Amino acid sequence: MSRADDILDIIATRKSTGEPFALATVVRTVAATAAKAGAKAVILPDGTISEGWIGGGCARTAVLKAAKDALADGRSRLVSVQPPDVLADRGVKAGEEQEGVRFANNMCPSEGTMDIFVEPVLPRPQVVICGSSPVAVAVADLARRTGFAVLVCAPAAEQGAFTEADRRIEGYALPVEDTGARYVVVSTQGRGDEAALLAALAVDADYVAFVGSRKKAEALKATLANRGITAERLEKLKAPRRPRSRRDHPGRDRDLDIGRDRGGAADQAFAPGVGRWAQNSRLTLSQSFVFFLTCGIEVRQRCHSCFD
């Protein structure tokens, strides 16, 4: 097995375990350089190069900074390390970015040029489903089809409602820590509501949705407050509510408006944004609405062009 095969296997292993890292790949070299096109390196969040090689100190500082930035915002970078006189001829300075390229000085005697593509490899965002109601099953299916990892939390007797899941937990004991973004959907519908909400609000999550009426959600919030859940934690819980006026815009980071007509007006409430997203995703508007209801923020982040 070649060295290139070795690092590809290491990359695959790290991806399967959900560890975040940046992958740096040399895509072009001019004149003498320590690394050649095709060379790769795995860079960890702490700046350690755990595997691979992309050159010595001439490129390392610029690449490590690009890796740190890529892991922070999820965007890839192209770094071009060039001798100072070449940068001057181009009219750019070290540290500047032009047309998607970040330039850096190569102060090594070799005076070569090396372009390195740095891409973040992040864990898939995760949808955590609590409960086995029809809505829970529908959201789990849609989440998998749109690229999320799915963690199903339900009693053992209810696990059979889900045909596929990346992970399963019997009951509602959610992991306190997990890699990547987490979006929790509680759709227990009367079977373990309080236990599931206690678990959902006890962990750090980017979004917590409760599928149920506003009245029921408020009653459960009061119960949870009496059990010691802080107001800050309870504020994270989002649930459907009736719109107070036509000016209210559904889908923002607050309780979600669904309207009174769950079959028609509710779908229209999210049009045209969800309608365009549904068309692009080959899902029905109703299916998209269910998913948007529970995980609206992430859908807007991943499909923001639909809502321009």
pLDDT at 206: 84
Q: What is the pLDDT along the chain (308 residues), one digit of tens a residue?
A: 455 558 888 888 888 777 899 999 999 988 877 788 889 999 999 999 988 888 777 788 889 999 999 998 889 999 999 888 888 888 888 888 888 899 988 877 777 889 999 999 988 888 899 999 988 998 888 888 888 889 999 999 999 999 999 999 999 998 877 777 888 999 998 899 999 999 999 998 888 889 888 889 899 999 999 999 999 989 888 876 544 444 444 444 444 444 433 433 333 333 334 444 445 544 444 444 445 555 443 444 444 333 33
Q: Which residues contact 299 (CB under 8 A, 6 or more apart)?
A: 146, 277, 291, 292
SS3 content of the chain, % helix, strand, coil (to 5): 40, 25, 40
Question: At a CB cut-off of 8 Å and minimum separation 6, what does 301 contact?
Answer: none
Q: Are 287 and 142 in contact (CB under 8 A)?
A: yes
The kind and range of the H/E element at 199 are: helix 193-202
- Report pLDDT for 305: 38
Take residue 174 and report the two structure tokens written for it: 């959610």
Task: Supply the pLDDT for residue 42.
Answer: 94
pLDDT at 263: 38
- One-letter identity of residue 212: G
Three-state secondary-structure class, residue 105: strand
pTM: 0.62
- pLDDT score at 45: 92
b/e per residue 181-193 (b: at least 16 CB within 10 A): bbbbbbbbbeebb
How far is residue 64's CA from residue 46's CA, in Å, rounded to a whole number? 10
Tell me what pLDDT residue 41 has: 93
**Which residues of 164-281 form beta strands (DSSP E)?**
167-170, 182-186, 207-210, 237-238, 240-241, 256-257
Q: Mind listing the domains of the chain with CATH numbers?
A: 3-121 (no CATH), 126-307 (3.40.50.720)
- What burial class does residue 282 get, using C-beta atoms within 10 Å of its C-beta: 0-12 exposed, 13-18 middle, 19+ buried? exposed
